[in-house]
Structure 1
Amino acid sequence: MTTGTEETPRSATFRLVLLVLLVVLLLASAGVLAWLLTERRGEADDAQAERDAVMSQTRQFVLRLNTYGPEQLDNQKHLPDYRDQVLEVITPKFAADFEKSGLPIAEQTVAQAGYGRSAEVFGVGVESIDADSATAIVAAGLTGSYPDPKHPDDRSKRVAADQDVLRWEVDLVKTDGHWLVDDYAPVTGEGSQ
């Protein structure tokens, strides 16, 4: 008959080794889990930072494209500050179109009619985004104004029109690490009202 005294030291040693091994595995698992969570959080933070940059640039584009007035005209009846502000947030390809059609129309309506416009962005959302392109949807209100005909000698007196609400789909591309607007179009279809 055995009393178990010979087995006890081996059994106690085995249990101690097993306990140490389990503690090491538990600590390693906790370390890997913490690393994975940190890595995922970093990726999520990077993705959110890109979305924020797209939304910010879209907001700036809408505000800059749609805010101008007679106070910005120079002696040659041009809007140089307006032009420069818009060019800062658009691609060179889009800039060529803007300078050929959009800018001359704005300058003409401001110079001839004293027209002014201001914009208010209601909201911006990112519809899609990848490493070098994005599409944003923006809702904004545009308010036009003209010189008050009751005060023809005081160009600071203005009459504002009712606000027009717009929804645009804005395409952006990443150029040299910065998001720039490449095109935009009104949102149309059954869902828009």
Structure 2
Amino acid sequence: MNQKPQTVDSDVAAVRNLMSGHQTAAGPARQAADQTDQRKLVMHRLVSVAVSAIGSYRPDRKAILITGLVLLVLLQPGFVLSILLISLLVGAVAFWCLGPERSVAVFSRLSDRFARLNPREARRWRARVWIAMRKWARLTGYLPPALAQHLQFPDFRATAEAEARHTAIVSDRLNRLSSGADIRGGL
């Protein structure tokens, strides 16, 4: 019996070698190429996700303003410091020109208007101002009394209480006038 040797196709031999766990000479090079392809595929997916996320981002006004301010502080710190210094100087000159009583009256009116527009935020803001004033008073306590007296905020509770009483009296008179009662009868 004459048997012919069987020829094995190279693809079939490669599959048999892979199934048996043996690697051919081209195996390590092929694995390195597969790993490179996988890395490229992963990087492509990450980049496409990042590009789609950036493309779909729609910032609101607050995010734009905060980003702009951060960029302004980082890119132009001298400009920002000069604007802050000029604002502080203008505020101090206005306080000294108007006087403490008038300055507090203007501040009080602005504060009341803000409280009517946004009561919850106004309470938080007043608490922050009160804390800042307490810290300032504590800092001026370390100074000599003659200097500390000029740097302390005056106590405007009496002025605020007088304004509140005046507002209540005017409101009461207007209410009695609208109800038809005699205005002079109550005085």
TM-score w.r.t. the length of structure 2 is 0.25
| Structure with bigger RCO (C-alpha 8 Å, 6+ apart) | 1
Higher strand share: 1
TM-score w.r.t. the length of structure 1 is 0.24
- Structure with bigger gyration radius: 2
